[in-house]
């Protein structure tokens, strides 16, 4: 018998700005469930997650959380104010029974020490700290809203492994297809205020969505044909049986009302880059380029030739120097040595990673027109701002909305709209996928595939890199960069490994008289994670041994298979799983014991 749900939202309604955002939405989360929550930007995914977390009150509907169940929520924009250090912030999220070692261990895995001051963190560091706080208590339910935003590839892959190994339930909003596909076992689609659920992972979502929309279209067509038949009867049918006639008139009115009230799917964004006159065949040539910041060399003896029509991805860990390399290649930053040659007739349009160029107090329309009337110049041709806004799924009533009131996804679409209006034959995109919904990502991919110019792209989205890039420039460490043909997966196949976190050398201290000689071995100690594992593994092994003994006793019954073949198979599978787990636990315990002995206890 299936375990009862830990969290239930039923018939949730919520209105935002006069329009119903949620209209009877539901959510059910069972123990250990892996649920992808998907839908367009602005469909209410974050709102539904906030209601699930108890941070927002629904107008109608009910929320039930199983008594004693623990729940943690990661918002899109975490607030770390009121805490002296990152470790204080993470520890404040622990309950009385939670292990403090988890906080330090997670911060270490995410590349933080815990001593950082919250006010000095970058966007990526803030996201890592908030992830550590959400994960540290090992909650029964974990609600994550865009957890991969501002994370680099090593952190994303680390987080995938951490979430895959957790026992609690997971509800996940993300634009990262590979991340969603790898972690989800069920999908909840939020569309036009209601939710639909499929007990299949995100990898099968798009095929299922198309089936649902095709069925809707068939039902709408049947409704329209029924109305036409009833209207024909009204005009030409016999007038006998007055009561029946009155009933059919009422039914026709009901059918017309059903058609009027039918909510149609939101349209797709219409993206088209304004292309300038074609550039020369050779777009960028770099020869033995080197760039250092202080004593650290970010780019070392790098050479490449980028030809018209290339789509080049630049990947590496945060701090590897991706943006520096991008600026050197586009001529925005001079190298310390080596030469950069830019091709002829280059017209460059840039989508920057940071959203700082957007004035939060300026309206959406003024941002697109630069305050000059109601016309947007797209590729040298005037377009009315309302029509251009609708190409990017903005509603006319949003024209006077301040940019600061837009969601993260809407700000991303606004930046795209502004960048793509500029005539260009070289598109420079620094993290364009942040906050975009999956449908908009599809359209951006199609646009880049059809774009007649050249594309330089910095991204941590592996699926996006695979779909778009003709080559990938990869950080190899120590300022070295190497170009690989194909997308991210092709680079993995050629290189044998993905992006690893950048290591930072510890500062060199002045030698004191009491310091050990250089040839003496530095003192080492086991990590918090290894110490905890060494202490907890014996108990785990004992428990697995007991479970194995019980299962072996059950399977020793010679009549079990004939009485209950299904139960026999389930116990056989469970026995094999526990025997494998015990073997792995014993091997890990032995490794840690040897490490402890090697490090002197």
Residues that constitute the known binding site for ATP = 39-46, 316-323
Nearest to 458 by CA among 358, 356, 352, 355: 352
Give every CB contact of residue 516 below 8 A, 6+ residues apart in sequence. Answer: none
Cβ atoms within 10 Å of 388's Cβ, excluding its own: 22
Phi and psi at 145, nearest 5°, equal: -105, 105
CB 86 within 8 A of CB 177: no
Q: Using alpha carbons, list the distances in angstroms from residue 499 to 134, 155, 255, 426, 432.
A: 25, 10, 58, 26, 19
The pairing of strands 282-293 and 296-307 is: antiparallel
Q: What is the longest distance spanned by two Cα atoms in the chain?
A: 114
- Residue ranges of the annotated binding site are 39-46, 316-323
The span from the CA of 287 to the CA of 351, in Å, is 26
Give the E-state strand segments of 316-464 in sequence order: 337-342, 348-351, 375-378, 381-384, 426-430, 454-458
In the sheet where 282-293 sits, what is the strand order?
296-307, 282-293, 337-342
The span from the CA of 170 to the CA of 192, in Å, is 24
CB 164 within 8 A of CB 32: no
- SS percent in the chain: helix, strand, coil, step 5: 40, 20, 35
The span from the CA of 11 to the CA of 33, in Å, is 21
Sole residue written with tokens 């880059």: 273
Sole residue written with tokens 């679409």: 413
Q: Which two tokens stand for residue 476?
A: 């190899």
Output the CA torsion sign for 175, 406, 319, 302.
positive
Burial 145-184 (b: 16+ CB within 10 A, else e): bbbbbbbbbbbbbbbbeebeeeebbbbbbbbbbbbbebbb
With H, G, I as helix, E, B as strand and everything else as coil, classify residue 158.
Answer: helix
CB 6 within 8 A of CB 141: yes
């Amino acid at each position: 018998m299936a375990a009862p749900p830990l969290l239930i939202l039923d018939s949730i309604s919520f209105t935002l700005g006069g329009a119903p955002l949620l209209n009877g939405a539901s959510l059910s989360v069972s123990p250990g469930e892996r649920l992808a929550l998907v839908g367009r930007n602005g469909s209410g995914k974050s709102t539904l997650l906030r209601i699930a977390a108890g941070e927002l009150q629904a107008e109608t509907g009910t929320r039930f959380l199983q008594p004693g169940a623990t729940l943690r929520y990661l918002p899109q924009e975490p607030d770390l104010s009121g805490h002296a250090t990152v470790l204080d912030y993470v520890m404040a999220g622990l309950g009385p029974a939670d292990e403090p070692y988890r906080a330090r261990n997670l911060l270490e895995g995410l590349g933080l020490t815990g001593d950082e001051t919250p006010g000095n963190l970058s966007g990526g560091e803030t996201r890592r700290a908030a992830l550590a706080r959400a994960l540290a208590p090992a909650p029964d339910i974990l609600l994550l809203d865009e957890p991969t935003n501002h994370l680099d590839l090593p952190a994303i892959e680390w987080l995938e492994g951490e979430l895959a190994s957790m026992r609690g339930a997971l509800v996940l909003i993300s634009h990262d297809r590979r991340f969603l596909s790898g972690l989800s076992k069920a999908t909840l689609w939020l569309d036009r205020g209601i939710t639909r659920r499929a007990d299949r992972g995100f990898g099968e979502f798009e095929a299922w969505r198309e089936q649902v929309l095709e069925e809707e279209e068939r039902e709408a067509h049947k409704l329209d044909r029924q109305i036409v038949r009833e209207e024909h009867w009204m005009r030409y049918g016999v007038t006998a049986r007055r009561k029946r006639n009155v009933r059919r008139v009422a039914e026709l009115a009901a059918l017309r009302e059903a058609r009027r009230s039918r909510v149609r799917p939101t349209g797709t964004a219409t993206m088209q880059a304004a292309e300038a006159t074609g550039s020369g065949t050779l777009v960028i040539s770099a020869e033995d380029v080197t760039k250092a910041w202080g004593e650290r060399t970010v780019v070392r003896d790098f050479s490449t030739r980028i030809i018209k029509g290339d789509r080049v991805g630049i990947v590496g860990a945060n701090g590897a120097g991706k943006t520096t390399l991008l600026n050197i290649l586009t001529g925005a930053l001079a190298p310390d040595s080596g030469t950069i040659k830019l091709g002829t007739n280059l017209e460059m349009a840039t989508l920057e990673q940071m959203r700082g160029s957007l004035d939060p107090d300026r309206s959406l329309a003024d941002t697109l027109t630069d305050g000059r009337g109601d016309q947007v110049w797209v590729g040298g041709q005037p377009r009315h701002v309302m029509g251009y806004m609708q190409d990017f799924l903005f509603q006319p009533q949003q024209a006077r909305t301040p940019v600061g009131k837009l969601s993260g996804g809407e700000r991303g679409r606004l930046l795209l709209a502004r960048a793509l209006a500029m005539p260009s034959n070289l598109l420079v995109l620094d993290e364009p996928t942040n906050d975009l919904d999956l449908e908009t990502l599809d359209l951006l991919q199609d646009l880049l595939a059809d774009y007649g110019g050249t594309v330089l792209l910095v991204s941590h989205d592996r699926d996006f890199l695979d779909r778009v890039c003709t080559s990938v420039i990869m950080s190899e460490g120590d300022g070295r960069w190497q170009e690989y043909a194909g997308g991210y997966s092709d680079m993995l196949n050629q290189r044998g490994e993905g992006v690893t976190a950048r290591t930072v050398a510890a500062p060199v201290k002045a030698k004191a008289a009491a310091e050990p000689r250089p040839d003496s071995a530095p003192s080492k100690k086991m990590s918090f994670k290894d110490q905890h594992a060494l202490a907890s593994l014996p108990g785990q092994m004992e428990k697995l041994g007991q479970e194995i003994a019980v299962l072996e006793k059950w399977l020793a019954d010679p009549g079990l298979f004939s009485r209950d073949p299904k139960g026999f198979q389930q116990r056989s599978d469970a026995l094999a799983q526990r025997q494998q787990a015990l073997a792995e636990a014993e091997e890990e315990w032995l490794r840690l014991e040897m490490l402890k002995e090697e490090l002197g206890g």
